[in-house]
Amino acid sequence: MAKKFQNFINGKWVDAKSGKTFENRNPANWDEIVGTFPKSGKEDVDEAVKAARLAFEKWRLVPAPKRGDIMRKVGDLMVERKEELARQMTREMGKVLAETRGDVQEGIDTAYYASSEGRRLFGHTVPSELPNKFNMAMRVPIGVAGVVTPWNFPMAIPTWKIFPALLCGNTVVFKPASDTPATATSLVEILVDAGVPEGVINIVHGGGGEVGMGIVGHPDVDLVSFTGSTEVGKKISEVAASTLKRVSLELGGKNAQLVMADADLHLALDGVLWGAFGTTGQRCTATSRLLLHEKVFNEFMKMLVDRVAKLKLGDGLLEGVDVGPCVNQGQQDTVKSYVEIGLKEGARIAFGGAVPKDPALARGWFHEPTIFVDVQPHHRIAKEEIFGPVLSVIKIASLEEGIRVMNDTIYGLSSSVYTKNVNDAYTAIRDIQAGITYINAPTIGAEAHMPFGGVKQTGNGHREGGWTVYDFFSEWKTVYVDYSGGLQRAQIDNYDK
């Protein structure tokens, strides 16, 4: 019997009101059911929002350092449960154990950062233009935060949102991706075990259209933090506009690694392999394009194909496996369709391009790591997010051309440049349109205490991570204390004319 999971609303584990459920399967072996989960609807969202609204009245008054103490406990519990969480995550969404351990570690880092922020949450004191008057600006909680997350970082991304939201004094209604509800449930269990009071954290499982949109459109939800596709992000933005709620959107990417002729090619090779095929290419920051200088093109392509051929596909729980499956059949179909599109457009496959024939992989949603050459910057495989193990290689002749091609997409999340020339490196840092630029490192590798997010259609200007996310989850209140005993009129009484 598959394990039965529930929603957590107002401090209680409950089924969907309708009683309906959905299954989640292991993408490396689709015969294995990870669990059954409540297929919730509007009435479940309403209950959760009601609980969160009520709990907000108490939680907002808990001193931030006390909220920080709970976050420290959360981090401690995640350390204790790290291996178990990583294994559950690999079973649920397929990426290899080393990476799911990293995903949990990012959550741990985020918890400890949030814990320490409980003793900061700094505001400003600023001199007044008038005598005997005190000016300050301080952070205050906002209210009920809706959190909607994708499946590719099933622990890290929810923690990036939920921990700062709670630390700032907001309450949360959380809808995780339908592909990773078990990991999300474990996170909620940890929050509860660490002492988060009832109603402060609520999880409602179910589909994006029903539960996700139910949260976004709810008049009593004050802010929404969403990570996912650009397509869904746009819909969320439209619906949220009707209640003018605050929305943070972290969306798609089409990230490129540029390799100049003077680069350390071995370093660049390690970078592109990790960037393109880590998490089976299913990262918002995955290296989806390689912009390769013509002078080193042939040499680097040979090195690349040799190494890709050695990558081992398989169940991420097994030792020695480098690349896991696609998360589900839909994602595998998308990859297959982009391989066809690339071929039709005139690109050529330098490696891979098919579903593996190995019978040991026959019951999972695997796809070979795939490399396209002869890709032109206008090709769809050079412009659109594929979200799978597909790398499009484009030949370039100069730094200027490399940057121009890199910027020629609607997205702007991550970017990478390999060069030993300091002038080229700084020119690239200045001119690349992306929220993140790495020099001599791959497009993936964000650290939890640094701002994370993208420009153009990758987002709407907010940043997760580090100190910046605390701006999203708190409101500034400006306070003037006039102790002069008289009416003092700003801009008027302190100037003669």
Is residue 371 within 8 A of residue 391, CB to CB? The reply is yes
| Count of CB atoms situated within 10 Å of the CB of 439 | 15
* Structure-block tokens of residue 275: 């960037």
Q: What angle do CA 478, 483, 488 make, to 5 degrees?
A: 80
228 binds ligand NAP, rule: CB under 6 A: yes
What track of x and - describes contact with ligand NAP for positions 270 through 289 (by CB under 6 A)?
A: --------------x-----
24 binds, among ligand NAP, Mg ion, none (CB under 5 to 8 A by kind): Mg ion
251 binds ligand NAP, rule: CB under 6 A: yes
In whole angstroms, the minimum distance from the beta carbon of 36 to ligand NAP comes to: 15
150 binds, among Mg ion, ligand NAP, none (CB under 5 to 8 A by kind): ligand NAP
24 binds Mg ion, rule: CB under 5 A: yes
Applying the rule CB under 5 A, the residues between 82 and 111 that interact with Mg ion are none
229 binds ligand NAP, rule: CB under 6 A: yes
Selection from 271, 300, 298 nearest residue 287 by Cα: 271
Parallel, antiparallel, or unpaired: how do β-strands 12-14 and 7-9 relate?
A: antiparallel
382 binds, among ligand NAP, Mg ion, none (CB under 5 to 8 A by kind): none
**Conformational region of residue 474, where left means phi above 0, alpha means psi within -120 to 50, and beta covers everything else:** beta
Give 107 or 150: the residue with its C-beta nearer to ligand NAP: 150
In whole angstroms, the minimum distance from the beta carbon of 453 to ligand NAP comes to: 7
In whole angstroms, the minimum distance from the beta carbon of 93 to Mg ion comes to: 6
* Structure-block tokens of residue 263: 């680069």
* Structure-block tokens of residue 229: 């596709």
Question: Out of 55, 184, 216, 373, which residue is the one contacting ligand NAP (CB under 6 A)?
Answer: 216
151 binds ligand NAP, rule: CB under 6 A: yes
168 noted as active-site residue: no
178 binds Mg ion, rule: CB under 5 A: no
What track of x and - describes contact with ligand NAP for positions 379 through 398 (by CB under 6 A)?
A: ------x-x-----------
CA distance 210 to 1: 27
* Structure-block tokens of residue 256: 């490129």
CA distance 161 to 150: 12
Question: Out of 209, 340, 481, 493, which residue is the one contacting ligand NAP (CB under 6 A)?
Answer: 209
252 binds ligand NAP, rule: CB under 6 A: yes
Helix (H) or strand (E) holding 57: helix 42-59
Give 24 or 186: the residue with its C-beta nearer to Mg ion: 24
In whole angstroms, the minimum distance from the beta carbon of 204 to Mg ion comes to: 18
Give 21 or 24: the residue with its C-beta nearer to Mg ion: 24
CA distance 489 to 13: 56
Selection from 111, 110, 135 nearest residue 123 by Cα: 135
CA contacts within 13 A on the Cβ side of 478: 4
Give 34 or 269: the residue with its C-beta nearer to ligand NAP: 34
Selection from 391, 416, 397 nearest residue 406 by Cα: 416
Helix (H) or strand (E) holding 87: helix 82-93
CA contacts within 13 A on the Cβ side of 142: 23
In whole angstroms, the minimum distance from the beta carbon of 27 to Mg ion comes to: 5
CA distance 420 to 426: 11
Applying the rule CB under 6 A, the residues between 173 and 192 that interact with ligand NAP are 175, 177-179
Residue 479 makes CB contacts below 8 A (sequence gap 6+) with 135, 136, 137, 138
Task: Write down the catalytic residue from 92, 99, 117, 250.
Answer: 250
CA distance 144 to 480: 27
Question: Out of 148, 156, 166, 444, which residue is the one contacting ligand NAP (CB under 6 A)?
Answer: 148
235 binds ligand NAP, rule: CB under 6 A: yes
DSSP state, residue 364 = S
Quick check: helix, strand or coil at residue 435? Answer: coil
Which stretch, 209-217, 312-320, 351-359, 376-384, contacts ligand NAP (CB under 6 A)? 209-217
Which stretch, 27-35, 78-86, 190-198, 221-229, contacts ligand NAP (CB under 6 A)? 221-229
Which stretch, 19-27, 216-224, 348-356, 416-424, contacts Mg ion (CB under 5 A)? 19-27
Give 47 or 464: the residue with its C-beta nearer to ligand NAP: 464
Task: Write down the catalytic residue from 99, 284, 326, 385.
Answer: 284
What Rg value do the Cα atoms of the chain yield, rounded?
Answer: 24
458 binds ligand NAP, rule: CB under 6 A: yes
* Structure-block tokens of residue 439: 């020099």
168 binds ligand NAP, rule: CB under 6 A: no
Residue listed under structure tokens 């020339």: 421
Selection from 37, 65, 7 nearest residue 188 by Cα: 7
250 noted as active-site residue: yes
Give 142 or 469: the residue with its C-beta nearer to ligand NAP: 469
Chain residues in the site for ligand NAP (CB under 6 A): 148-153, 175, 177-179, 207-209, 212-213, 216, 227-229, 232, 235-236, 250-253, 284, 385, 387, 413, 454, 458
Chain residues in the site for Mg ion (CB under 5 A): 24, 179
**Positions marked catalytic:** 250, 284
